[in-house]
Amino acid sequence: MATKPPAGDPVQDAPHVTAPKQSAAGLPAIGHTVKVAGAQMGARRATLTLLKVNQKNGFDCPGCAWPEEDKRHTFEFCENGAKAVAEEATLRRVTPDFFAAHPVTDLAARSGYWLGQQGRITQPMYLPEGADHYEAIPWERAFALIADELAALDGPDEAVFYTSGRTSNEAAFLYQLFARAYGTNNLPDCSNMCHESSGSALTETLGVGKGSVLLDDLHTAELIIVAGQNPGTNHPRMLSALEKAKRAGATIVSVNPLPEAGLERFKNPQTPGGLAGRGTPLSDLHLPIRLGGDQALFRGLGRLLIENDDLDHKFLDAHTHGYEDYKATALATEWDQVERATGLTRAQVEHLHTRLRNAKSTIVCWAMGLTQHKHAVPTIREVVNVLLLQGNVGRPGAGVCPVRGHSNVQGDRTMGIFERPAAPFLDALRDEFGFEPPRHHGLDVVRAIRALRDGTAKVFFAMGGNFVAATPDSAVTEAAVRQARLTVHVSTKLNRSHAVTGARALILPTLGRTEKDHQAGGDQFVTVEDSMGMVHASRGNLPPASPHLLSEPAIISRLARTVLGPDSTIPWADFETDYDLIRDRIARVVPGFDDFNTRVRHPGGFTLPHAPRDSRTFPTATGKANFTAAPLEYPHVPEGRLLLQTLRSHDQYNTTIYGLDDRYRGIKDGRRVVLVHPEDAAAAGLTDGDYTDLVSEWTDGSERRAEGFRVVHYPTPRGCAAAYFPETNVLIPLDHTADTSNTPAAKSVVIRLEQH
Ligand SMILES: Nc1nc2c(c(=O)[nH]1)N[C@H]1C(S)=C(S)[C@@H](COP(=O)(O)OP(=O)(O)OC[C@H]3O[C@@H](n4cnc5c(=O)[nH]c(N)nc54)[C@H](O)[C@@H]3O)O[C@H]1N2
Ligand SMILES: Nc1nc2c(c(=O)[nH]1)N[C@H]1C(S)=C(S)[C@@H](COP(=O)(O)OP(=O)(O)OC[C@H]3O[C@@H](n4cnc5c(=O)[nH]c(N)nc54)[C@H](O)[C@@H]3O)O[C@H]1N2
Ligand code: SF4
Ligand SMILES: [Mo]
C-alpha cells in the first residue's frame, strides 16, 4: 500500500524551510485578513461578510468551536476564521460544465488543495453506475434514487449516515430523527475521530461528557495547563483568553512535544502595542513531553500531590468515589517509568507540581494530542484524577476544558448524532414523535468502514465532511467505500470523497453558514453550541452561491418525505418551512432547551446546564465524581523506529487545504514534510533537506508507505516525529484505535524512515 503525490496536479509540493517562529498573532492585522479573503471574494464582499462573523446579529464562524466573549469587537474573528469564511464565500463555482470537463478519474488524481480551489458546487450531481462523469440531476429525482436504494436493502442497518461537525443543531436534530425513523442508529460522526475519548472519559468520571468551564473561568484561573493542543493555529482566539488570564496573574504551562509558537508569545492586534512589539509571553513553562507520555505525567503529579497532602479533603469526602484505590495506585508509581514514558526529568514534573500546589484554581485544556492515542481514555481520566485531588471541578476558575474542533461538533452530539444513544433520549423521541426508535447500537466511523469493506453496509450518506480523506488507512477505506452501492454527499465544496465513490454517487449541494436561508415561512436562522456549552443563533447574510442550493434542513425534510412516505407521523414539510417548529420539538426532547425559541433570540444566546459545574452534582453510576486507577500505559517503540504524530498545518482546516504554508513552524510552499530530531534523522542516514519515505509497521506484520517527504530538523523529543494529515492517513492501520472510544490513534504511529 503506497501513496505518491497525485499525478497530473499542477500544484507543486516543494517545501522551503526556515526556523520556527516564536510568537503568534491570534487576530491578524485587519488589512491582511481582508486581502486574504478578498482574493476569493472581492474586497467589498469580504469586508461586509467579515463584519458579520461571530456578531450577535451575524453568523457563527464556520472555523472552530471556540466561544465568543459577551462583549464583541467589530472584528470578532481570527485569521483562520477569515480563511474558513473565504473558503465558503468564494466567488468561484463548480458547475455542471466543470463536471463535463473533468471525469471522475481526473478528479481522483487531483490533490485535495486543487479540488477545494475550484469553488462552490452549484447543482445536484449524479454519477450513474459505470459512468465517468457526474451529470446534473433534479432534486426530486435524486431523492427518489436514494429512496429506491434504501428500499432495496435487506434492512436499515445496511445504511450509514455520517455527520461532520459543521451541521447546525436544527439540521442535526432532523437528520438523527430521520435515520431513527427509517430504522437505524448508524450515525457515525467526526467526533468518533476527535473528542470521543474525552466524552468517554468525562462521562464515566464526572457524569457529563463535555467541558466544565466557561470563558470567565479561564480569565480567572490561577493555573492553566494546555496539553496536546496547538491553539495558535487551531483555536487562535483562545490566545486572547490566555492573554487575559495571564494579565490577571495566571500561570500557563504547555505540555507538548513541539514548542508551538502560539503558546510562547502572543501579539494581540486589539490591544495597545498590538502587532508591533514582541508580544506577551504566554507560557511560563513548556514541558516537551514524548508522544503518549501524558498519562504518566499526570500520574506522577497525582503521586506528588498525595505525598505532600496538597489535597482538598472536604471535596474528596463529600463528592468523590474511589480515592483510596487511586491513592494506592498513584503512590506505587515508579519514577523511572514516568521519566521513560514522558522523556521528562523528575525535576520537571516536580516543577509543575509546585505550580499546582501554589494555585488555588487550575484548568486543564486539551485537544487531539491527548485524544488520539491507544490509551487516550485512561490518559484523560488521569487528568480528571489530578483535578479532583485539589477539588478543581465545579468552582470558579477551575475545571476540565476539552477544546472542541468543528464549530458545531458539540451541538451535533447534544442533538442526538451518536451511534450509542442513551435510553432516555430514545424514550423522549418515541414520546414526542410516536414511533419506536431502534435500541441496538449503531456503527461508529471505524466500524462503518469495516462494514463497508465486509459488504454489510451498502449505502453511505454523509452530511458534510470528507470521509475518505479524514479517516485512517486510506487505501483500505477507499476500497471499502468503492464497494458501496450508493454514496451520497451533502456538501458545499468539492473534495476527495466525491471522486472515490460507490457504484453510484450523488452530490447534494447545500447552503453554507454565510448565506441567507429563505424558506416558505420567511428568512430562517439556525443555532449552534460552542465548546463551552453556549447555544446561540447564526444568520447568514450573503445571497446563496446558486439558486439551486437547498439548506440542510430542507434536504433532510424532503429526503425523509420521499423515503418514509405520506404516513410518517413526523411533520417533515412543516420543519422545512419554519425552523422554529424544529426548535419547539428540540425543546421537548433535549434536556436544557426549555423555551428554546425565546431564549435563543436573546442576543448572545444561553448556556446549557452542566451539573458538575453548576452544583457539584455528578450524574455518574456512583452519584459521585469517580477516581479511576488504571495501569500506566505508554507507546512502545521498537529499536530504530520513530513514533509519528499526524497533525494540522496553519494553512488547513482538516482535509480542506487553504494553502501550502505552515507559517509558525517555518514551512513554506509544501506539505510533504516530516519533522524529526536531527539525531534521529542522522541515525536513519538522513539530514535536513533529504527526501524519505515513511513506512508504518503494524502488529500483524503489515506495512504501509507514504512516499517522498522532505526531512526537516526540528526541536521535538528524540524518537518522536510529526507530519501532516490527510497525506499520512495512508499510514494508520484501521485497527489502530483507542481503547473504549475507538478513535483512530493518529498521534502514535510506529514508523521507520527509508531513503527515497
Ligand atoms: N485552522 C484550523 N483550525 C482548526 C482545525 C484545522 O484543521 N485548522 N481543525 C479543528 C478540529 S476538527 C480540531 S479537532 C481541532 C484540533 O486542534 P489540535 O488538537 O490543536 O490539532 P492538531 O494539529 O492535531 O495538534 C495536536 C497538538 O498536540 C500535540 N501533541 C501531539 N501528540 C501529543 C501527545 O502525545 N502529548 C501532548 N501533550 N501533546 C501532543 C501536537 O504537537 C500539537 O501541538 O482544531 C480545530 N480547529
Ligand atoms: N491522521 C489524522 N486524521 C484525522 C485527524 C488527525 O488529527 N490526524 N483529525 C480528525 C478530526 S479531529 C476530525 S474532526 C476529522 C474531520 O473529518 P471531516 O469533518 O469529515 O472532514 P472536514 O475536512 O472537516 O470536511 C470538509 C468538507 O466539509 C464540507 N463542508 C464544509 N462546510 C459545510 C457545510 O456547511 N455543510 C455541509 N454539508 N458540508 C460542508 C466541504 O465539502 C468540505 O470539503 O478528521 C480526523 N482525521
Ligand atoms: S477562534 Fe475559531 S471560531 Fe473564533 S474566529 Fe478563529 S476559527 Fe473562528
Ligand atoms: Mo476534530
| CA 312 – ligand 4 centroid, Å | 34
* Helix (H), strand (E) at residue 93: strand 93-94
| CA 440 – ligand 1 centroid, Å | 33
Q: Do residues 253 and 388 both lie within one domain? A: yes
The answer to whether residue 462 is domain-embedded is: yes
What is the pLDDT confidence band of residue 272, given thresholds at 50, 70 and 90?
Answer: low
Which residue out of 33, 51, 60, 66 has the highest number of ligand 3 atoms within 8 Å of its CB and is therefore the one to mutate?
66
Of 208-217, 264-273, 472-481, give the lowest mean pLDDT range: 264-273
pLDDT value at position 3? 47
| CA 744 – ligand 2 centroid, Å | 14
Rounded to whole angstroms, the Cα distance separating 155 from 157 reads: 5
The answer to whether residue 43 is domain-embedded is: no
Q: Is the pLDDT of residue 306 over 90?
A: yes
Atom of ligand 2 nearest to the CA of 371: 12
Question: With a 6 A CB cut-off, is 81 part of the ligand 3 pocket?
Answer: yes
SS3 261: helix
Q: Is the pLDDT of residue 263 over 90?
A: no
Angstrom distances, CA of residue 262 to CA of 69, 246, 650: 20, 14, 11
Beta strands in 576-689 (DSSP E): 606-607, 625-626, 642-647, 652-653, 656-657, 667-668, 673-676
Q: Which ligand is nearest to the CA of 239?
A: 3
What is the pLDDT confidence band of residue 617, given thresholds at 50, 70 and 90?
Answer: very high
Q: Do residues 446 and 472 both lie within one domain? A: yes
What is the pLDDT confidence band of residue 44, given thresholds at 50, 70 and 90?
Answer: confident
Question: With a 6 A CB cut-off, is 80 part of the ligand 3 pocket?
Answer: yes
SS3 172: helix
What is the grid cell recorded at 373? Answer: 492515542
Q: Do residues 445 and 485 both lie within one domain? A: yes
C-alpha count within 13 angstroms, C-beta hemisphere, residue 269: 19
Q: Is the pLDDT of residue 273 over 60?
A: no
Q: What is the pLDDT of residues 687-717, one digit of tens each?
A: 999 999 999 999 999 999 999 999 999 999 9
Rounded to whole angstroms, the Cα distance separating 642 from 676 reads: 9
- Which residue range is the domain that position 673 belongs to? 642-755
The answer to whether residue 238 is domain-embedded is: yes
Which residue out of 64, 170, 193 has the highest number of ligand 2 atoms within 8 Å of its CB and is therefore the one to mutate?
193
Q: Do residues 118 and 254 both lie within one domain? A: no
Rounded to whole angstroms, the Cα distance separating 508 from 162 reads: 14
Nearest to 252 by CA among 227, 278, 279, 289: 227
| CA 63 – ligand 4 centroid, Å | 11
Q: What is the CATH number of the domain that holds 391?
A: 3.40.228.10
Q: Do residues 265 and 167 both lie within one domain? A: no
Q: Is the pLDDT of residue 500 over 90?
A: yes
Ligand 1 neighbours, Cβ below 6 Å, are 63-64, 80, 194, 227-230, 233-235, 255-258, 260, 289, 291-292, 294, 367-369, 405-406, 645, 647-648, 652-654, 747
Q: What is the pLDDT of residues 567-614, one digit of tens each?
A: 999 999 999 999 999 999 999 999 999 999 999 999 989 999 999 999
Top-confidence residue, 268 or 300: 300
Question: With a 6 A CB cut-off, is 63 part of the ligand 3 pocket?
Answer: yes
Question: With a 6 A CB cut-off, is 490 part of the ligand 2 pocket?
Answer: yes
| CA 371 – ligand 1 centroid, Å | 10
What is the pLDDT confidence band of residue 270, given thresholds at 50, 70 and 90?
Answer: low
Q: Specify whether the CB–CB gap between 214 and 398 falls below 8 A.
A: no
pLDDT value at position 2? 44
| CA 234 – ligand 4 centroid, Å | 10
Q: Do residues 439 and 540 both lie within one domain? A: yes
pLDDT value at position 217? 98
What is the pLDDT confidence band of residue 1, given thresholds at 50, 70 and 90?
Answer: very low
Would you list the DSSP string of 350-399? HHHHHHHHH-SSEEEEE-HHHHSSTTHHHHHHHHHHHHHHTT-SSSTT-E
Q: Do residues 132 and 254 both lie within one domain? A: no
Q: Is the pLDDT of residue 678 over 50?
A: yes
Average pLDDT over residues 136-160: 98
| CA 469 – ligand 3 centroid, Å | 23
The answer to whether residue 81 is domain-embedded is: no
Question: With a 6 A CB cut-off, is 626 part of the ligand 2 pocket?
Answer: no
pLDDT value at position 11? 58
pLDDT value at position 31? 66
The answer to whether residue 252 is domain-embedded is: yes
Domain count across the chain: 3
Which residue out of 218, 237, 270 has the highest number of ligand 3 atoms within 8 Å of its CB and is therefore the one to mutate?
237
pLDDT value at position 276? 59
What is the pLDDT confidence band of residue 34, given thresholds at 50, 70 and 90?
Answer: confident
Residue 717 CA to its chain's centroid (Å): 25
Q: Specify whether the CB–CB gap between 260 and 367 falls below 8 A.
A: no
Question: With a 6 A CB cut-off, is 82 part of the ligand 3 pocket?
Answer: no
Rounded to whole angstroms, the Cα distance separating 328 from 748 reads: 29
Q: Is the pLDDT of residue 503 over 70?
A: yes
Q: What is the CATH number of the domain that holds 669?
A: 2.40.40.20
Rounded to whole angstroms, the Cα distance separating 529 from 531 reads: 7
| CA 193 – ligand 4 centroid, Å | 7
Q: Which ligand is nearest to the CA of 513?
A: 2
Average pLDDT over residues 36-53: 82
The answer to whether residue 75 is domain-embedded is: no
Whose C-alpha lies nearest to ligand 1, atom 44?
A: 230
pTM more than 0.95: yes
The answer to whether residue 431 is domain-embedded is: yes
Residue 676 CA to its chain's centroid (Å): 25
Question: With a 6 A CB cut-off, is 465 part of the ligand 2 pocket?
Answer: yes
| CA 560 – ligand 2 centroid, Å | 25
Grid cell 429506491 is found at 148
Question: With a 6 A CB cut-off, is 467 part of the ligand 2 pocket?
Answer: yes
| CA 407 – ligand 2 centroid, Å | 11
Q: Do residues 261 and 283 both lie within one domain? A: yes
Average pLDDT over residues 618-636: 97
Q: What is the pLDDT of residues 407-461, one digit of tens each?
A: 999 999 999 999 999 999 999 999 999 999 999 999 999 999 999 999 999 999 9
Q: Do residues 384 and 507 both lie within one domain? A: no
Q: Can you give the length of the chain in residues?
A: 756
Question: Which amino acid, residue 285?
Answer: L
pLDDT value at position 445? 98
Atom of ligand 3 nearest to the CA of 77: 5
Question: With a 6 A CB cut-off, is 237 part of the ligand 3 pocket?
Answer: yes
What is the grid cell recorded at 594? Answer: 426549555
pLDDT value at position 43? 81
Q: Do residues 384 and 443 both lie within one domain? A: no
What is the pLDDT confidence band of residue 106, given thresholds at 50, 70 and 90?
Answer: very high
Q: Which ligand is nearest to the CA of 714?
A: 1
Q: Do residues 521 and 669 both lie within one domain? A: no
What is the pLDDT confidence band of residue 37, given thresholds at 50, 70 and 90?
Answer: confident
What is the pLDDT confidence band of residue 730, given thresholds at 50, 70 and 90?
Answer: very high
Question: With a 6 A CB cut-off, is 64 part of the ligand 3 pocket?
Answer: yes
Q: Do residues 353 and 312 both lie within one domain? A: yes
Residue 57: CB atoms within 10 Å: 10
| CA 350 – ligand 4 centroid, Å | 32
Q: What is the CATH number of the domain that holds 132?
A: 3.40.50.740
Question: With a 6 A CB cut-off, is 477 part of the ligand 3 pocket?
Answer: no
> With left for phi above 0 and alpha for psi between -120 and 50, is residue 399 left, alpha or beta?
left
Q: What is the pLDDT of residues 572-582, one digit of tens each?
A: 999 999 999 99
The answer to whether residue 449 is domain-embedded is: yes
